[in-house]
Amino acid sequence: MSQHAIEEAEQSDSDTMVEVRDLKTYYEEGGIFGGRPVKAVDGVNFDIKRGETLGLVGESGCGKTTLGRTLLQLEDATAGTIRFDGRDVTTLSGDDLYQWRRNAQMVFQDPDSSLNDRMTIGEIIREPLDVHDWKTPRERRQKVRDLLDTVGLDREHYFRYPHQFSGGQRQRIGIARTLALNPEFIVLDEPVSALDVSVQAEIINLLEDLQNEFDLTYLFIAHDLSVVRHICDRVAVMYLGHIMEIGPTEELFEDPANPYTQALLSAIPEPDPKSDKERFTLRGTPPNPRYPPAGCPFSTRCPARIRPPEYEDESEEFWEGINTLREVMRERERAERSVRERIGEALGRETRFRNIEDAYQELFDGVDLSADVQELLDTVAEFARNNREEDALELLDDEFGSVCEGHSVDAAEGEEPILPDYHTVSESGRESLCHRHDDAYRDVSSVLENRHR
């Protein structure tokens, strides 16, 4: 390696503050429901550079808060490593963990939950200093007054109580408390979602000013994509515990590569009504993270899912019917049968699938079905009537599944489902998790254009 390359490598290493590798956080549930864990974070990899703001976006329940909390060691990682400046914090305990926590803090969505109404503002902000036995009581009081200045509150507010303040002011108090121990890294978990729109910009500006003043590094969790676009240097798009795409903010918004990112951005209202930007709706809700699909996590809802070649030319109505039927079967496979249904079944009166005919009517009325497909659907209905939804699903998966659901043409019996790889999709190194980036398949945009014309 040349001297220049060595210097560059050293430079880039020291630029990286947080390194996350193969991180998993599963919630195990004991008791009678024990068994399957909730896979809230399921193998994520990313770095955060010193001084940058990395955005974390995705639908509710995709694992954003769990990921943020795991980085701060407020949740235990099930597997993987989290290195801060090269040191793996997942193995810290006792005094080492306590000391390290000073460097990494969290700002919450709802400041009320973190502000004790019976403490004065001064006491609330001073508490972390007291807990860590920071300098003398006099110096602590002075530090609190300085912090009040820093976040744009008055020193006279020291002796007031949280209920005397507005939502925006309470979030400023929360931020002051977070800054008390001079952290280097802050997880901002929806810091402005609970605030009036007029106040949101003030808090965002404050966060940006503080970042410049104190060289802070942020992980910014948010639903509101316009806020993310404004404040974040890079964005990670999360779905069902996985990062689907990660890269520089502006190019990710301008030219999203992953079908999920495209779907998420497609939901943002377009300010220009004349815009002819391709739009499509993301149907349904994400699967339960206790029962993630095999293969690509987004496969059950993906508008660009790869189809078996023999059915490539079928209509969108046909595919909508098949995909919904598979979704219904999956739901029913894991549904707990109600007591009423069990009794009904025992008496031979009713089964959960007594209305499969209605479902077919709804899904396939007016859809052209070949004799082979009709025969297959008849068998599926027969399985469903006999509560053999697992067999029904296997039949549907074998016939209509593809590499997206983990199927491989030459897979051996019992082989693990295939997962998509991360592909580099731009010169900046943006990465996206999707089979469609393989040369063997048509690319995402051309497929979406065709399917959503």
Ligand X SMILES: Nc1ncnc2c1ncn2[C@@H]1O[C@H](COP(=O)(O)OP(=O)(O)OP(=O)(O)O)[C@@H](O)[C@H]1O
Q: Which residues of 194-214 are buried (b: 16+ CB within 10 A; e: fewer)?
A: bbeeebbebbbebbeebbeee
Q: Are 158 and 120 in contact (CB under 8 A)?
A: yes
* Residue 441 binds ligand X, judged by CB under 6 A: no
Nearest residue (CB) to ligand X, 77 versus 377: 77
Tokens of 386: 């006999």
Nearest residue (CB) to ligand X, 63 versus 295: 63
Of 289, 293, 295, 297, which one interacts with ligand X (CB under 6 A)?
289
Nearest residue (CB) to ligand X, 179 versus 221: 221
* Residue 393 binds ligand X, judged by CB under 6 A: no
Nearest residue (CB) to ligand X, 10 versus 28: 28
Q: Considering only the stretches 55-63, 90-98, 113-121, 329-337, report the one whose residues sit in contact with ligand X under the rule CB under 6 A.
A: 55-63
Count of residues touching ligand X (by CB under 6 A):
12
* Residue 287 binds ligand X, judged by CB under 6 A: no
Query: How many Cβ atoms from other residues are within 10 Å of residue 383's Cβ?
Result: 21
Binding mask 20-39 for ligand X (x = CB under 6 A): -------x----------x-
**CA 7/CA 59 separation, integer angstroms:** 41
Q: Cβ of residue 221: shortest distance to ligand X, in angstroms?
A: 7
Q: Cβ of residue 47: shortest distance to ligand X, in angstroms?
A: 21
Nearest residue (CB) to ligand X, 128 versus 292: 292
The residue ranges of DSSP E strands in 123-279, in sequence order, are: 185-189, 217-221, 234-239, 242-248
* Residue 2 binds ligand X, judged by CB under 6 A: no
Nearest residue (CB) to ligand X, 232 versus 392: 232
Nearest residue (CB) to ligand X, 66 versus 432: 66
* Residue 78 binds ligand X, judged by CB under 6 A: no
Q: What is the dihedral of CA 320, 323, 327, 328, to 10 degrees?
A: 60
Q: Cβ of residue 61: shortest distance to ligand X, in angstroms?
A: 4
If you count them, how many residues does the chain have? 453
In the three-class reduction of DSSP (H, G, I as helix; E, B as strand; rest coil), residue 428 is classed as coil
**CA 419/CA 395 separation, integer angstroms:** 21
The residue ranges of DSSP E strands in 28-107, in sequence order, are: 38-49, 53-57, 79-84, 87-88, 104-107
* Residue 66 binds ligand X, judged by CB under 6 A: yes
**CA 103/CA 98 separation, integer angstroms:** 10
Q: Which residues of 101-140 are buried (b: 16+ CB within 10 A; e: fewer)?
A: bbbbbbbbbbbbebbeeeeebbebbbbbbeeeebeeeeeb
Of 53, 65, 169, 200, which one interacts with ligand X (CB under 6 A)?
65
Q: Cβ of residue 233: shortest distance to ligand X, in angstroms?
A: 21
* Residue 60 binds ligand X, judged by CB under 6 A: yes
Q: Cβ of residue 127: shortest distance to ligand X, in angstroms?
A: 24
Position 379, amino acid: T
How far apart, in Å, are the Cα atoms of 441 and each of 1, 261, 402, 403, 446? 38, 19, 12, 11, 11
Nearest residue (CB) to ligand X, 214 versus 291: 291
Residues near ligand X (CB under 6 A): 27, 38, 40, 58, 60-66, 289
